[in-house]
A and B are shown apart, each in its own frame.
Chain A
């Protein structure tokens, strides 16, 4: 049996149990998807108090809408979609920026010639130092970039799965992730240089 069928079967077992009134089955769903929801809310929402409200809101929406879940995607992907939309609504209400000035959609980012490339040099990023500044540099990225990079590199989702969660075209997801990583690398290199001076 393929992995997809196994996922689907397990999803069906859990959803059926919840719809029959088994709350412990819903507890299993929460435990199995909590990491994804945490990853997304931490990257998109800066206030810890709001994250708590949003995470609860996500699962209450999941519970309410579960009878309408059609198994056209993995349950976790569907929960990811609900999380993304809930975070998006929160950011809109708070009039916070999510995705403006992110560049052209669907195209891989244009390459600018950096000073280093013109000089024919590139600083080398060392593991320990990089680990030290990486987190703060990731935090400087726009919420959408942060989330996309985390979903791809930490949760190891495919471009297609991320596209499904965010309802963005796959090409756009790819382009944003490339751009985010380039910004991240350039910012880290800049910090290296500043530290060296």
Chain B
């Protein structure tokens, strides 16, 4: 067995990273009261540092920062405007070409059928809005509950 005492660095390694210590040194610690006492002190010290209260800010940092952020710049919705313009043009062209047919169709189709079609369209749009809201809520919940950035 090694008779020389472990250095302070070796003692710390023995406590923090026991795998980094050779068997001979570990055997010395087992049989040496002085080194054992030093090990116990470091074990105690590490434990107390770990359990020491962690500092926290006594103000609402999030609120303070968020109120200083610049308002988000809304990007001009070029794509949406382009699609809307194309759709409007398509509808207008169709209306011009098929105007006589549309007039006949409106005259022949009963009011009940029109009401059913309109209700159907409203219900479909309603369901889509609900789905979108649910999906948004789900994503926000995932971000809030994940321990994503905790160390």
Name A residues whose Cβ lies closer than 8 Å to a Cβ of B: 6-7, 10-11, 13-14, 17, 20-39, 42-43, 48, 51-52, 55-56, 59-60, 63, 74-76, 108-109, 111, 117, 120-127, 130-131, 134-135, 138, 149-150, 153-157, 161, 178, 181-182, 184-185, 188-189
Is B104 an interface position by the 8 A CB rule? no
Max chain A CB contacts within 10 Å: which of B38, B49, B51, B146? B49
Q: Which of B40-71 contact A (CB under 8 A)?
A: 40-42, 44-59, 61-62, 64-66, 68-69
Is B73 an interface position by the 8 A CB rule? yes
B69 neighbours in A (Cβ, 8 Å): 23, 26, 60, 63
- How far is A185 from B50 in the complex, measured between Cα atoms in Å? 15
Q: Determine which of B37, B56, B148 lies in contact with A35 in the assembled complex, contact meaning CB atoms within 8 Å.
A: B56
Known: A21-B74, A34-B57. A130 touches B45 (CB 8 A): yes
9 contacts between A and B (CB under 8 A): A11-B149, A28-B143, A28-B144, A32-B148, A36-B151, A38-B54, A59-B61, A126-B44, A181-B46
Is B100 an interface position by the 8 A CB rule? no
A189 neighbours in B (Cβ, 8 Å): 41
Do B54 and A39 touch (CB < 8 A)?
Answer: yes
Q: Determine which of A39, A125, A150 lies in contact with B45 in the assembled complex, contact meaning CB atoms within 8 Å.
A: A125
CB-nearest residue of chain B to A189: B41
The 10 closest A-B pairs by CB, nearest first: A21-B72, A10-B148, A42-B55, A111-B7, A32-B149, A122-B37, A153-B49, A76-B149, A59-B65, A30-B62
CB-nearest residue of chain B to A131: B48
Do B151 and A38 touch (CB < 8 A)?
Answer: no
Known: A117-B34, A130-B45. A111 touches B68 (CB 8 A): no
Name B residues whose Cβ lies closer than 8 Å to a Cβ of A: 5, 7-9, 12, 34, 37-38, 40-42, 44-59, 61-62, 64-66, 68-69, 72-74, 139-140, 142-144, 146, 148-151
Do A135 and B52 touch (CB < 8 A)?
Answer: yes
Query: Separation in Å of the B67 CB from the closest CB of chain A?
Result: 10
Known: A108-B9, A124-B41. A154 touches B52 (CB 8 A): yes
List 15 additional contacts besides A24-B140, A120-B34; criterion CB under 8 Å. A7-B149, A21-B74, A23-B69, A23-B72, A26-B66, A28-B143, A34-B57, A60-B65, A125-B45, A130-B44, A134-B45, A134-B52, A153-B46, A154-B50, A182-B8
Query: Separation in Å of the A161 CB from the closest CB of chain B?
Result: 8
Do A185 and B143 touch (CB < 8 A)?
Answer: no
- How far is A92 from B145 in the complex, measured between Cα atoms in Å? 39
- How far is A40 from B12 in the complex, measured between Cα atoms in Å? 24
A74 neighbours in B (Cβ, 8 Å): 149
Query: Separation in Å of the B36 CB from the closest CB of chain A?
Result: 9
Max chain B CB contacts within 10 Å: which of A135, A157, A189? A135
- How far is A111 from B35 in the complex, measured between Cα atoms in Å? 14
Do A56 and B65 touch (CB < 8 A)?
Answer: yes
- How far is A7 from B52 in the complex, measured between Cα atoms in Å? 28
CB-nearest residue of chain B to A120: B34
